Structure 1
Amino acid sequence: MECDSNEETSGSLNKMNEDLQRSRSPLETVTEEAEGAPPFLVTPKTDWESYPLLVEDSSRVRLAPTLDCTLRYFFTHCPKDVSEISRSDLMIVLIYVIALESGLIPKGVPMPAACLTEKYHSYRAFDKRLVKHFATRLPLDCFRNRASPYRLEMELVHQKAVRDNIDVSLVAYCSVDLLVVNLLWSANLTVCFSTVVPVSFYVPAINANRLPFCFQHLSRLSVKMKDELFVPFRSFAYSKYIPVICPSMAGLPQEVVKHITRCLDFRTRRNLLEVLKPSPPVIQKRTN
């Protein structure tokens, strides 16, 4: 009897340890069970670099789940025949996913209900919920006319923006093997961020069956696009239209805030006061 109880105790302990080993990290990731991916095996020896969460984590063996999902959507719904798909088309799909990771979304496409909340963090650039939601909402109209440049209308959605959603146009055109990518500010066409990408270097082949073989050096490309296009655009947008301050400013006494605002220029002072403006109280209706 004692041996049986010891065996049951050891069996329950083993099961508990196994459940702990299978538990997921408390940090949310891009990969979710809904996408068909197995949960991460979280142990003290977990090699997080082996899990491609972003485009820059992809390899020739495995792509990031959202990039893989967007590519499958593109090959399934593209208005072109598969034989007519070019390397530059795949490059635009890739840049679209990188733009999603940078906080941009397609213009005019409604946001998921889970993201329409007052708790949206004003300092967060990457939201995996947005990337996952818009991965299968790639605008396909820009691929219809092969003679015209690629054009994606996107916007930066931010609840603390001084004006409405900040619109931006992603325009790209091919010059031999180079893809010239421009990020145009819709409100002011004189504001433009540009970069040049060698297509064949990053997209060596077109393989609809084995998607990881379509790309190479994705880490280098993702960092290049974010550093030269999307991060400068976000910095410009934040400095012009999105008031961002240190969170501790809201807890300072009014006398200190007045002294600080006297040292600021007009635009910075306006943005600061806009952030510190108290939000109206939320009145909840009682239901009988």
Structure 2
Amino acid sequence: MECDNNEESSGSLNKMNEDLQRSRSPLETVTEEAEGAQPFLVTPKTDWESYPLLVGDSSRVRLAPSLDSTLRYFFTHSPVTEIRRSDLMIVLIYVIALESGLIPKGVSMPAACLTDKYHSYRSFDIRLVKHFATHLPLDCFRNRAGHYRLEMELVHEKAIRDNIAVVLLAFCSGDLLIVNLQSCTDSAVVFSTVVPINFFVPAINADRLPFCYQYLSRLSTKLKNELFVPFRSFVYHKYIPVIYPSMEGLPSELVKHITRCLDFRTRRNLLEVIKPTSILIQKHTD
């Protein structure tokens, strides 16, 4: 009789654990939600090749911290039963856009990242991961017709304008997601690509987030080569008069020699960047 009671108690406990596991949120506690991606121990023996800093480094075992944190935030603040694979694809594109230097429109950089005059934008910086993961524009997922609109900005300290605005438009056509990246300053400039959804998003798994995606290295390369890198090249050429930051540290004689090889537009952009030596360069190139 005692054995039967123990078996019944054990069975009830197992069933309770299964129900609890099934109803669990991707975040167990509020503390985890605030912390986002957990830090990892850095030692002289750290194997950096096995640690996914970027989306393209992610695997079916471990996601990049930026993607993991953003995905957890999305699952926590969205009805799980209404999440579609195309939604997860948009979350992924949002994180890759962050890697490319874009940020959500109206969201400023964290104050901790602006302490230095020449700060570096690193999408795997834990401060940026926590900040932008919780600023995923959830309104763009409200349209159940499969249309998405993300308003973002390219922020650069030497931009002619304060921010370079861009709109990411996407819509579903069967299993395909058609993605357009359009500059707000020049509506005629549009970069487009087509992504098969089910191929890269095989499942919706709130408990094991790495199982939501596959072949992320291929997808990250595709999106950057066809959307974000061409957009950055266009913006840098037209609105951001900078060649390379290291030009400011070169000797004036070498800068003069380089200037001889530049066309008029590039030379003018260079002069706007290297203002202390611009008079010398102008005299030498006239």
User: What does residue 75 of structure 2 align with?
Assistant: 75
Which amino acid counterpart does residue 62 of structure 1 have in structure 2?
R
1:136 lines up with 2:134 in the alignment: yes
- For 2:272 and 2:249, how far apart are their aligned partners in 1? 11
Q: Deviations over 1:68-100 (max 9, x none)?
A: 11111111112xx21111000000001101110
Which amino acid counterpart does residue 222 of structure 2 have in structure 1?
K
| Offset of residue 195 of structure 1 | 0.7
CA contact (8 A) 1:261 1:269 kept: yes
Provide the TM-score with structure 2 as the length reference: 0.75
| SS in structure 2 at match of 1:174 | strand
- For 1:170 and 1:210, how far apart are their aligned partners in 2? 28
| Offset of residue 49 of structure 1 | 2.1
- For 2:255 and 2:59, how far apart are their aligned partners in 1? 50
Which amino acid counterpart does residue 76 of structure 1 have in structure 2?
T
Unaligned runs of 5+ in 1: 1-33, 279-288
Identity within the alignment, %:
73
1:115-134 matches, within 5 Å, as 115-117=113-115, 119-120=117-118, 128=125, 129-134=127-132
User: What does residue 40 of structure 2 align with?
Assistant: 39
- For 2:124 and 2:66, how far apart are their aligned partners in 1? 12
1:165-204 matches, within 5 Å, as 165-204=163-202
1:103 lines up with 2:104 in the alignment: no
Provide the TM-score with structure 1 as the length reference: 0.75
Q: Which has the higher helix share?
A: 2
**CA 1:145 to 1:38, structure 2 compared with 1: closer, same or farther past 3 Å?**
closer
CA contact (8 A) 1:154 1:170 kept: yes
1:254-265 matches, within 5 Å, as 264-265=262-263
Which amino acid counterpart does residue 74 of structure 1 have in structure 2?
F
Q: Please, which moves more after superposition, 54-63 or 263-272?
A: 263-272
| Offset of residue 155 of structure 1 | 0.4
Unaligned runs of 5+ in 2: 1-34, 277-286
- For 1:140 and 1:133, how far apart are their aligned partners in 2? 15
- For 1:214 and 1:263, how far apart are their aligned partners in 2? 50
State the superposition RMSD in angstroms.
2.5
Which amino acid counterpart does residue 206 of structure 1 have in structure 2?
I
User: What does residue 233 of structure 1 align with?
Assistant: 231
CA contact (8 A) 2:37 2:68 kept: no
- For 2:257 and 2:227, how far apart are their aligned partners in 1? 37
**CA 1:133 to 1:120, structure 2 compared with 1: closer, same or farther past 3 Å?**
farther
**CA 1:175 to 1:256, structure 2 compared with 1: closer, same or farther past 3 Å?**
same
CA contact (8 A) 2:150 2:167 kept: yes
CA contact (8 A) 2:159 2:241 kept: yes
**CA 1:230 to 1:125, structure 2 compared with 1: closer, same or farther past 3 Å?**
farther
CA contact (8 A) 2:151 2:165 kept: yes
**CA 1:42 to 1:261, structure 2 compared with 1: closer, same or farther past 3 Å?**
closer
User: What does residue 90 of structure 2 align with?
Assistant: 92
| Offset of residue 238 of structure 1 | 1.1
Q: Please, which moves more after superposition, 65-74 or 169-178?
A: 65-74
CA contact (8 A) 2:140 2:149 kept: yes
